Chain A
Amino acid sequence: DVKVTQSSRYLVKRTGEKVFLECVQDMDHENMFWYRQDPGLGLRLIYFSYDVKMKEKGDIPEGYSVSREKKERFSLILESASTNQTSMYLCASSLIRGADEKLFFGSGTQLSVL
């Protein structure tokens, strides 16, 4: 089975801090995604990547950046955390690009910014 691992389950940070969320997948998937999930809003795409060193903005990229230096690892960076970035962050991967591809999700990171 594909495993998508997120480095932290819970994270508490202070406003203004730089925050790194790490995601690793072990099945050589090309595509990796970062979503945030908020009550009443569902899953929203922040950034995605379909290859090493490639990145594409999603629906809500403001305040975030990403890094994909290796195929298996996709990092989400909050340059200066703000309270409105308190959310559940979910990483996902899929084998190839396309909406018909099954998504595999990590367990999520609940980030609280105080």
Chain B
Amino acid sequence: KNEVEQSPQNLTAQEGEFITINCSYSVGISALHWLQQHPGGGIVSLFMLSSGKKKHGRLIATINIQEKHSSLHITASHPRDSAVYICAVPGGGADGLTFGKGTHLIIQP
């Protein structure tokens, strides 16, 4: 089973700061997912990437397959970015995905 570690568990930052959330996994993968969960519960898929980098607005996801590591960056952070960010990788669980425990991000105005 793939083991997924996210760091930090909790992060509080000021509006405008550059944010980095990290995800490490133990077994080689074909694709990694980054998900966002806002207070209230609903989860949104942000990225699915298998190599290099993807960008969507102020969000950037990178992955290093050799090092088994991915990062999610938020530029010019805003209070509306406050959420739990979860990474998920194949290689565990009956449906093939193992989820990290999430990073709880708070952006203060």
Say yes or no: A100 contacts B30, CB within 8 Å: yes
Q: Closest chain A residue to B42 by CB distance?
A: A107
A27 at the interface (CB under 8 A from B): no
Number of A residues near B (Cβ < 8 Å) is 28
24 intermolecular pairs with C-beta atoms under 8 Å apart: A33-B95, A40-B101, A42-B99, A42-B100, A42-B101, A42-B102, A43-B88, A44-B99, A45-B94, A57-B94, A58-B93, A58-B95, A90-B41, A92-B43, A99-B89, A99-B91, A99-B97, A100-B31, A100-B50, A100-B90, A102-B48, A103-B33, A105-B44, A108-B43
Chain B positions within 8 Å of A, measured between CB atoms, are 29-31, 33, 35, 40-45, 48, 50, 86, 88-91, 93-97, 99-102
Shortest distance in angstroms between B103's beta carbon and chain A's nearest beta carbon?
Answer: 11
A109 to B85, CA, bound (A): 19
Say yes or no: A99 contacts B90, CB within 8 Å: yes
A48 to B96, CA, bound (A): 11
Chain A positions within 8 Å of B, measured between CB atoms, are 9, 31, 33, 40-45, 48, 56-59, 88, 90, 92, 98-100, 102-108, 110
Shortest distance in angstroms between B47's beta carbon and chain A's nearest beta carbon?
Answer: 9
Say yes or no: A88 contacts B93, CB within 8 Å: no
Shortest distance in angstroms between B83's beta carbon and chain A's nearest beta carbon?
Answer: 13
Shortest distance in angstroms between B53's beta carbon and chain A's nearest beta carbon?
Answer: 18
Which of A40, A99, A105, A106 makes the CB contact (< 8 A) with B96? A99
A92 to B45, CA, bound (A): 11
